[in-house]
Every structure is written in C-alpha cells, then in structure tokens.
Amino acid sequence: MGAKLSGSGGGKYAVEANSEINVTPFVDVMLVLLIIFMVAAPMAAVNVKIALPNAVAKPSTNPPKPVYISIQPSGRLYIGDFNTDLAELGDTLRTQLGSKRSPEKERIYIRADKDVLYGDFMGVMNTLQDNGFYSVALVGEDKKD
C-alpha cells in the first residue's frame, strides 16, 4: 500500500477522479462469447455423409395449357384470343378446360391493362371465385432499366 505524500487533502478515503474507461469487463464478455461460438459452430454443421440420388424430374409429356383472361381498358374480356362477357365467363372457362381439369386446381392468369377500372377487375375476380376458380395469378410486365 502506498501513502500519499502531498499535503493537499481530502483525508484518508478520498478518491481522485479517474477518466479512463475500464475495458476489462468488455474483454471478458467478448472472450466468453468467442469461446461459446467456437464450441457451438461445429455442432451446427451436418457431419453425416450420405450419397443423395439425382433429382432430375422428367418433363411432362403433355403439360396443361395455361388459361389467360385479358381485360382491355374498355372492359372487354378475352379468354385466350376469344371474346367473352362477364356473364358467360365461368361457363366458357369450364368448356375450354374440359372435364379432365378441375376448376379448384386450375390456375387462371389475368392480364389487365393498366387503365382498366378497378370495378371491372374486381367483377372478373368475383365471377371467377363464384365459379370455383380460386387460384388466380396476375400477370405484369417486367420492368427494364
């Protein structure tokens, strides 16, 4: 233990101001975290060696033809290239799909002009749902930069 030799005081328990940051607890915590990660990292890797089979699927000989509904700004509807109206949309779709394709599993692609009224678009969506076509995809144009 050392003694203070200068006469300026404060007594025997006076603590002088210390402006240095004590980094020892920070270093201790970082070393503990480093050890934890060094121990846990090898456990996260899969070490079981197996020979996986090839996952090459044969292409379908007769894939289903996609069904496109086009909506023009004027509100005219087309299934593929054939003109139809909203009242006949469900029946026309069933006729084109035939009996082998189920409406519940069939995906319908809707192509709508950007100037189509929202009410016209929702009319087509509601008609499709009323007729059992629940899988609907919206087609947009890729943005080229």
User: Alpha carbon 52 to chain centroid distance?
Assistant: 28
- pLDDT band for position 31 (cuts 50, 70, 90): very high
pLDDT at 126: 93
Bridge partners for 70 per DSSP: 78, 111
For the ranges 16-25, 73-82, 118-127, the lowest mean pLDDT is seen at: 16-25
Domains observed in the chain? 67-138 (3.30.420.270)
* Backbone conformation region of residue 11, classed left if phi is above 0, alpha if psi is from -120 to 50, else beta: left
- CB count, 10 Å around CB of 103? 16
Longest dimension (CA), the chain: 107
Q: Is the dihedral of CA 134, 138, 139, 143 positive or negative?
A: negative
- Quick: pLDDT tens for 82-93: 899 899 998 888
107-112 and 67-71 beta bridge pairing: parallel
Tokens 């121990």 sit on residue: 39
pLDDT at 98: 78
